[in-house]
A and B are shown apart, each in its own frame.
Chain A
Amino acid sequence: MRKPIVQAMTVLVPRDRVMAFVQDRQLMAQAVGSKKMLGTIQHLELCDAPDGRGTEMYLSMRGLGKYSIKEVLRRLKALLEAGEIPTGRRYA
């Protein structure tokens, strides 16, 4: 069996807040892209980063490559830290 692709990212938010966020299906759907995509999450592990540097997130998702998983983590981090997902667009 192929080893799942795991990608990591640290977010400067305490673990309990990250935990509350990832348990909220509405918020998580925003990070993952859609509610349907939530089902592809294989594994999400949260660990305390050293010296109060936030929370380390380790994610693997079925059917997604490492760059796509990284993008999900990036959106998750942006929502948690900045409260929004950045966009370079000029208009809707």
Chain B
Amino acid sequence: MLVVEKLTHVYPNGVKALDDVSLMVPKGMYGLLGPNGAGKSTLMRSIATLQVPTSGSIRFGETAEIDVIKEPEAIRRTLGYLPQDFGVYPRVSAYDMLDHMAVLKGIGNGRARKETVESLLNQTNLWNVRNKALAGFSGGMRQRFGIAQALIGDPQLIIVDEPTAGLDPEERQRFLNLLAEIGENVVVILSTHIVEDVADLCPQMAIMDAGRIQLEGAPSALIDGLKGRVWKKTIAKGDLDDHRKRYKVITTRLFAGKTVIHVLSDTDPGDGFEPMPQGLEDVYFSTLTSARAAA
């Protein structure tokens, strides 16, 4: 269990990337959804001990016994982290780098390390290219290497930050499947701005924007909360501004030259709107819309 309490982080330039964030993350996949710049990566990095937050606390463990900020060494022993963006050393092969990472993560025993490295190279489909320099890898291959290294040592806390960005649909699917399988027994935090990633996999989620947790819960419950409140209308492009003024528009989308808008309304707004089966995307955008309206 990961417990984040009142976490605030202010960058030297004055940007408040985290603003009183509190979260309780149980075992299983946990989706952290938010637009770019919402503070997701800052939160992820804070949990991964890579930066020290300005205030607040982070605890982890069966009984949340590890104070992550005070004892970063303790959490690192059971942490798997795949950052949003990472590079590689020059002239180092996938095998050697994974082996090296295994050493860093505490697999000192040679046999155990061999088993770890070979198993992970197989799982991530990198066995054939294990002796090639990582520097030449494509984005997808590199990402697979990233997940492989995150899984070393059977971590209890796995943090993956925007893992599917830059992957093709097939790769993305395979990646998510792997995650889902791992996520059964450990805490996995999946940070993303892609709604489907969360919708398909995560029993629990939070929506983050402007450094705050805007909404938290199980995706299905959140979707249910919008039941009967989402309405759709196809309008001419020129009418958009007028509609924005009159309704609470949560999404707009071009479709065959016309604009399709979704609005949020407890009652039927009439005016050509028709009821719409709500999805997680509507939850997401309505949360962002109201968060920004409040700000």
Partners in one complex: no
